[in-house]
């Protein structure tokens, strides 16, 4: 069931990319003045890092907010993150298996991911959040149409 949920999520993410060739960007700099492309425009050819978290039942709402804020702060600290979005489960199919949080990080390429994973601010986030995880799933893929 989890594999089905992850595949469905990936399918949705893949199909929410560019609707026309003119909507796509070759580089993030070509899209917006701030160097970041809106998620809705897609990032064809870029590396997507999809993360799902399931939290331990005793994780307090305050700790969840701290973890959410810490992850959301990473794009300002790690330049390799060219796009970032997240949300909590609102599914009606009862397929989440307790996973409540989904994050989508976009890198230009594998080099960006290689900079992100050992980055001190990413590792600090992991140290904050890891004790509260009951499960984590990560899928990386190159965006294509």
Token look-up 């080099």 returns 111
What's the pTM? 0.72
pLDDT at 71: 98
User: If DSSP codes are grouped into helix, strand and coil, which group holds residue 52?
Assistant: strand
pLDDT digit string, tens, across residues 80-92: 999 999 999 999 9
pLDDT at 41: 57
pLDDT digit string, tens, across residues 3-60: 544 444 444 444 444 333 333 344 433 344 445 444 445 678 999 999 999 999 999 9
pLDDT at 42: 63
| 31, 116, 123, 130 from 127: Cα distances, Å | 34, 15, 6, 6
Query: What CATH number should be reported for the domain whose range is 2-18+36-142?
Result: 3.30.70.100
Alpha helix stretches (DSSP H) within 49-144: 61-77, 110-116, 120-129
Which of 41, 42, 70 has the alpha carbon at shortest distance from 129? 70
- Domain extents in the chain: 2-18+36-142
């Amino acid at each position: 069931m989890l594999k089905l949920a992850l595949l469905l999520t990936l399918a949705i993410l893949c199909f929410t990319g560019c609707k026309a060739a003119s909507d796509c960007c070759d580089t993030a700099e070509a899209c917006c003045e701030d160097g970041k492309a809106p998620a809705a425009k897609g990032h064809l050819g870029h590396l997507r890092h999809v993360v799902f978290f399931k939290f331990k039942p005793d994780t307090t709402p305050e700790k969840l907010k701290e973890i959410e804020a810490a992850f959301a702060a990473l794009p300002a600290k790690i330049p390799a993150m060219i796009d970032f979005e997240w949300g909590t489960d609102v599914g009606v199919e009862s397929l989440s298996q307790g996973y409540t949080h989904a994050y989508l990080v976009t890198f230009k390429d594998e080099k960006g991911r290689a900079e992100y994973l050992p980055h001190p601010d990413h590792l600090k986030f992991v140290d904050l959040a890891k004790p509260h995880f009951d499960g984590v799933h990560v899928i990386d893929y190159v965006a294509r149409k």
